[in-house]
Amino acid sequence: MNGTIKHPKLTLVGAGPGDPELITLKGIRTLATADVVLYDALISEELLRFAPAGAKKVFVGKRAGNHAYSQRQINDLIVDFAFHYGHVVRLKGGDPFVFGRGYEEIYHAESYNIETAVIPGISSSIAVPELEKIPLTSRGVSESFWVITGTNTKGELSADIARAARSDATVIILMGTKKLDEIIEVYKNAGKKDWPVAVIQNGSLPDRKTAIGIIETIREVVAEKQVGNPAVIVIGEVVAEHPEFHKIREFYDYINNL
């Protein structure tokens, strides 16, 4: 620090859904003031060039059970770096407060009287369906939407999915690809085997893969399209607005009229 005492601070910055151009201007300006950047797995490393050349850059990502650091270790790193270096920018995929554990990091830092701030980011729950031109709400079709994690803290399917399946709302499920079979059964049990569904991998990136179908057939479409993680699952009548679903509807109308 060249003998300069720096004020400890933590800023959570939402990096958006993957495309580096979808971070906010305020997020870019905040990166330019960083002394340390702690960044996640799902952010574009292109964003690191907006941080000062001399800033310390540390990967703390967590993906599919492969964690560079535990959440407790990340919390402790934030505090240590803030006191030793000054301004810590925690660069998180999507939005820091949408299944990003951002509040835990803020709370921990503030318990050490470290100044904190939050720069919101574009959540993949909203951006990914929109990039596929799937509206989350549409007049006369869907009046609301749910954003649900695929698993709870015990690794089990979120109970909120069954609750949402009983409504007519659009349902967006994050981190749920490995639970797809269970999600399908929940919707079948709710009498919605014909509901439109989309599974979208890397939704804001050039290697995007999209599977469009209905609850009863989506498993096969996902396999055919080789859609994997990370993916966003969108369930609801709004998915029928997707151009590819028009072909599916025409096919079923033809079969039903035979």
Catalytic residue ranges = 40, 62, 175
Q: How far is CA 97 from the centre of its chain?
A: 10
**β-sheet bridge partners, residue 172:** 147, 234
Distances 202 to 92, 114, 124, 228, 249 between C-alpha atoms, Å: 16, 35, 9, 9, 26
Task: Name the token pair of 119.
Answer: 């720069």
Distances 22 to 38, 93, 106, 192 between C-alpha atoms, Å: 19, 11, 23, 34
Distance CA 127, CA 23 (A): 12
Distance CA 194, CA 215 (A): 6
Residue whose C-alpha is closest to residue 211's, from 181, 163, 240, 244:
244
Q: What is the DSSP string of 77-90?
A: HHHHHHHHHSEEEE
Contacts of 122 (CB under 8 A, 6+ apart): 14, 16, 17, 22, 24, 94, 95
Phi and psi, residue 209, nearest 5°: -125, 140
User: CB-side exposure of 37: number of CA atoms within 13 Å?
Assistant: 28
Task: Name the token pair of 46.
Answer: 């292109």
